[in-house]
Amino acid sequence: MNRYTPTANAPTSLPIIDIAPFLNPSSSPASRKETASTINRACIDYGFFYLTGHGIPTPKLDQIISLARQFFSLPLSEKNKIKRHAAGGPEGGDGARGYQSMGENVTQGKRDMHEAIDLYREWDHAEKKVGSGGPGTHKTLQGPNLWPEQPAELKDVYLDYLTQLQHVGQALVRAMGHALDLPPPSPNATRTSEDADIFVRNTTHSFWVLRLIGYPPLSTPASSSTDPSELSCGTHTDYGCVTLLLADPTPGALQVQLKDNTTWLAADPLPGAFVVNIGDMVERWTGGLWKSTRHRVVHRGEGYRVSVPFFYEPDFEARVRPLARCVERVGGEAGAGGEAKMYEERVYGEHLLGKVFGNFV
Ligand SMILES: O=C(O)CCC(=O)C(=O)O
Ligand SMILES: [Fe+2]
């Protein structure tokens, strides 16, 4: 069931979207339409929503969190066996994949008080080149994923989860195309044809990212933070297409900025649901009709928080430029007092490389 709280008064919770009609081939057109129109309103009003009906069993989700938690509880020497290293260096790093210890990640010039493992789609869309350090070294993003040896079952469980997530991601971007009320796809559509499958066609080889993140409470010896302005994860927008976040039940940590640019809403986890948000590439595709929303993590609560966001991103070579139909709609709103922003075309992979080189600032 889709559930939507109108925004007339201060909202207390994000909308809930049931994606099942886009996963179930025998669903009715009416149910797909309802899901699509709820997505459209949620993306205009919040850029964030809860996603249910995705079909991944809750015990599997619990196992994903539990395995990540087990990894983070290992000694640093064990975690550093899969340390992320600079691209082109003798350690065989690619500057992106692997484990980052506490405070290594930086957002807006400040250390983030978390540790993480980053996994990406394998580099399979183009030939790999040798890194600047010679044979055996890697260019940025072109190395293999670094999987932990412990817990032993983590890799297989996560590989299976990644297959499930890509399936859900594809259903979600299909629903998003419908939500924009784009024309139905024609059989000779090209990658950039502006129809309801444009997001599907540009994510068939999604250059996805999966992050396992561990957050000690701020201001504890474990976080080693003495600066009160340091955050668990600083304010940012996600840079790609759409994020499916799985988090443990810790309340109050993930905070979403509302359209008034002032109010922060706690996006507390809903059991069995993902917290979904759209990223900068979807804002660009929609010419700003849907905004990628600022958010941050401030974990001042109890216990060690674990989250596992999955970023379902465009293909590396996808060209992202505003859809004419969306630009018209934004123009209409701008004429009524809104502000129209110009978005230039971006190739997703170039945008991503800029982020990796700039430490995601
Ligand atoms: O841990 C979370 O709740 C969100 C993390 C996040 O925003 C990100 O990794 O982009
Ligand atoms: Fe984020």
Distance 332 CA to ligand 1 centre (A): 33
In the three-class reduction of DSSP (H, G, I as helix; E, B as strand; rest coil), residue 176 is classed as: helix
Q: What residues form DSSP beta bridges with 120?
A: 209
For residue 236, CA distances in Å to 167, 280, 296, 340 come to 26, 10, 7, 21
- State ipTM: 0.99
- What residue segments make up the domains of the chain, in order of their start? 55-357
d(CA 346, CA 333): 24
Q: What is the pLDDT of residue 87?
A: 95
Nearest to 196 by CA among 181, 211, 218: 181
CB atoms within 10 A of CB 208: 21
Nearest to 84 by CA among 101, 71, 98: 98
d(CA 254, CA 234): 11
254 CB near ligand 1 (under 6 Å)? yes
Q: Is the CB of residue 206 less than 8 Å from the CB of residue 169?
A: yes
**Closest ligand 1 atom, residue 247 Cα:** 3
Distance 123 CA to ligand 1 centre (A): 24
Strands 110-111 and 98-100 turn out to be unpaired
**Closest ligand 1 atom, residue 238 Cα:** 10
65 CB near ligand 1 (under 6 Å)? no
Q: Whose CA is closest to atom 9 on ligand 1? A: 309
Q: What is the pLDDT of residue 110?
A: 83
Q: Whose CA is closest to atom 1 on ligand 1? A: 307
Residue 331, Cα to own-chain centre: how many angstroms? 28
306 CB near ligand 1 (under 6 Å)? no
Residue with tokens 């997505």: 39
Q: What is the pLDDT of residue 10?
A: 45
Q: Is the CB of residue 216 less than 8 Å from the CB of residue 69?
A: no
Q: Is the CB of residue 131 less than 8 Å from the CB of residue 92?
A: no
Nearest to 215 by CA among 233, 228, 227: 233
**Closest ligand 1 atom, residue 309 Cα:** 9
Q: Which CATH class is domain 55-357?
A: mainly beta
pLDDT in tens, 224-282: 766 777 899 999 999 999 999 999 999 999 999 999 999 999 999 999 999 999 999 99
Binned average pLDDT, 10 residues per bin, the chain of 361 residues: 61 88 97 97 97 98 98 98 96 96 84 94 95 95 97 98 98 97 93 96 98 92 73 94 98 95 95 97 96 95 95 98 93 62 92 80 55
Instruction: Tell me 127's DSSP state.
Output: -
CB atoms within 10 A of CB 164: 16
